């Protein structure tokens, strides 16, 4: 329902600006088009710079490729896997570890046990197994403790309010990482498990890598 109000002391209508001189409007329009073109070019360069560090699955008959994900299908499981930067409160964790996003679906009618020996990585001839969640959370705690005392010999101790604020951020990041970590064990019929697995950050320096997706080798390159 609209509410009608009576206008009192209406403001005078402002005078319109004089029309532009001949050629002035065209110069403004040309300048606007040029600025827009430069913005588009800058955006494309930015996206290309970001794409340099992304990983892409190599085409293979053992799996299908959808964007940056490799999709492995079998009679019992459907697996999607890709090296992906961690997105969340503790985004800096991607600089300490090499994160891989995994999603596993069970379209069958029987429970399937997901082995913890799966999802190993071969990079530069070396095998890397995923790092247990306890070490990931321990590293996260260390980072937050060091952020409380950035100076080894501070003149003043951090205020209680800043410590409380940092503790709250740590608690949020702790449970976020814990809940986003991929869990193994039994996968129920019709169920899905997804999350991150973290590896030694040296994996990220390789140009190519292979991931064992529950028995299927999936190759990625830059």
**Total number of residues shown for the chain:** 222
**Lowest mean pLDDT segment, chosen from 31-40, 139-148, 176-185:** 31-40
Q: Please tell me the CATH code under which domain 55-221 is placed.
A: 2.60.40
pLDDT of residue 62: 94
Read off the pLDDT of residues 39-78 as tens digits, 9 standing for 90 and up: 444 444 443 443 335 899 999 999 999 989 999 998 899 9
3-class DSSP string for the chain: CCCCCCCCCCCCCCCCCCCCCCCHHHHHHHHHHHHHHHHHHHHHHHHHHHHCCCCEECCECCEEEECCEEEEECCCCEEEEEECCCCCCCCCHHHHEEEEEEEEECCCCCCEEECCCCCCEEECCEEECCCCHHHHHHHHHHHHHHHHCCCCCCCCCCCHHHHHHHHHHHHHHHHHHHHHECCCEEECCCCEEEEEEEEEHHHHHCCEEEEEECCEEEEEEC
Per-residue pLDDT reduced to its tens digit, 105-164:
999 999 999 988 899 999 999 999 999 999 999 988 887 776 655 555 555 555 555 555
Sign of torsion, CA 95 97 98 100? Answer: negative
| pTM exceeds 0.75 for this model | no
7 or 57: which carries more pLDDT confidence? 57
**185-222, pLDDT tens digit by residue?**
999 999 999 999 999 999 999 999 999 999 999 999 98
Average of pLDDT values for 8-34? 48
């Amino acid at each position: 329902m609209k509410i009608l109000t009576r206008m009192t002391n209406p403001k005078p209508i402002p005078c319109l600006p004089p029309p532009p001189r001949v050629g002035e409007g065209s110069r403004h329009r040309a300048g606007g088009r040029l600025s827009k073109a430069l913005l588009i070019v800058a955006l494309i360069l930015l996206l290309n710079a970001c794409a340099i560090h992304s990983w892409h699955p190599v085409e293979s008959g053992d799996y299908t490729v959808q964007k940056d994900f490799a999709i492995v299908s079998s009679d019992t499981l459907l697996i999607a896997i890709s090296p992906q930067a961690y997105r969340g409160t503790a985004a800096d964790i991607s600089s300490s570890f090499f994160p891989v996003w995994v999603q596993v679906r069970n379209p069958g009618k029987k429970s399937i046990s997901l082995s913890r020996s799966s999802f190993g990585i071969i990079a530069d001839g070396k095998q890397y197994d995923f790092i247990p969640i306890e070490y990931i959370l321990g590293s996260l705690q260390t980072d937050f403790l060091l952020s409380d005392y950035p100076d080894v010999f501070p003149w003043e101790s951090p205020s209680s309010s800043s410590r409380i604020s940092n503790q709250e951020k740590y608690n949020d990041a702790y449970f976020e990482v814990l809940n986003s970590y991929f869990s193994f064990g039994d996968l129920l019929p019709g169920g899905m498990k997804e999350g991150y697995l973290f590896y030694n950050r040296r994996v990220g320096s390789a140009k190519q890598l292979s991931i064992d997706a529950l028995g299927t080798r999936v190759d990625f390159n830059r």
